[in-house]
């Protein structure tokens, strides 16, 4: 397993990572609401049930509505200051979505060039504090739509390709969540996984959790 015993893994991203979490960002003695109701909570539950001796600590720093621009503004406090051993970054859905749902508000659009530059800067800020590049996981954004010719799906794939390129450039770990959804979309309609093709229902979060656990070597 990628996660060493007694290590701390931090997940950061947008509403998919947030998933209604409490602001403290990690379980309290009264439950795990701080991890939200999505894939982060599923991952933590699996690690606790399957690798209890490893005592892996899970933190959630997802924030609904955020883009990579927002992540950059809070990176020091929400990542570096917490001194995680492993960091997972999944961002880009809002960077793309705002170009479609608010096309006239161009000031909030994060175009590919800014996305790649900013995400690359975050990687460069983070690698020096980790034990190695394999402790940083770069994760693609996704759009739960099987038609690759759909305009938003095509644009999301472009951002996913940027994440892949950065992972190759810096030698980090890489997770293609779009591929994980595509494997399921070959057998079911997107509406069964997410009403808006963005925010997954429980089955969609389970798809994400399985993909993360597989990449972490925890399945």
Catalytic residues: 15, 196, 199
Question: In which order are the strands placed within the sheet that holds 8-13?
Answer: 57-62, 8-13, 86-90, 136-139, 173-175
Tell me how far apart the alpha carbons of residues 200 and 195 are, in angstroms, rounded to a whole number. Answer: 8
- Asked whether the beta carbons of 146 and 180 are under 8 A apart, the reply is no
Single out the residue of 62, 165, 158, 86 nearest to residue 119, CA to CA.
165
Q: Give how far the C-alpha of residue 70 lies from the chain's centroid of Cα atoms, to the nearest Å.
A: 14
């Amino acid at each position: 397993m990628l996660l060493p015993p007694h290590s701390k893994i931090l997940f950061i991203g947008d509403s998919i990572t947030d998933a209604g979490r409490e602001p403290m960002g990690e379980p309290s003695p009264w439950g795990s609401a701080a991890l939200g109701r999505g894939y982060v909570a599923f991952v933590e539950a699996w690690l606790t049930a399957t690798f209890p001796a490893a005592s892996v600590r899970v933190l959630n720093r997802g924030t609904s509505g955020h883009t990579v621009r927002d992540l950059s503004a809070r990176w020091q406090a929400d990542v570096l200051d917490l001194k995680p051993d492993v960091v997972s970054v999944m961002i880009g859905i809002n960077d793309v979505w705002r170009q479609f749902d608010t096309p006239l508000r161009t000031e909030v659009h994060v175009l590919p060039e800014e996305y790649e530059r900013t995400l690359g800067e975050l990687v460069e800020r983070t690698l020096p504090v980790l034990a190695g590049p394999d402790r940083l996981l770069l994760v693609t954004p996704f759009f739960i739509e099987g038609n690759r010719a759909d305009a938003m799906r095509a644009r999301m794939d472009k951002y996913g390709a940027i994440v892949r390129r950065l992972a190759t450039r810096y030698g980090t770990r890489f997770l293609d969540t779009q591929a994980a959804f595509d494997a399921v979309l070959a057998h079911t309609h997107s509406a069964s996984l997410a009403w808006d093709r963005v925010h997954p229902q429980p089955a969609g979060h389970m798809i994400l959790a399985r993909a993360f656990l597989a990449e972490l070597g925890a399945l």
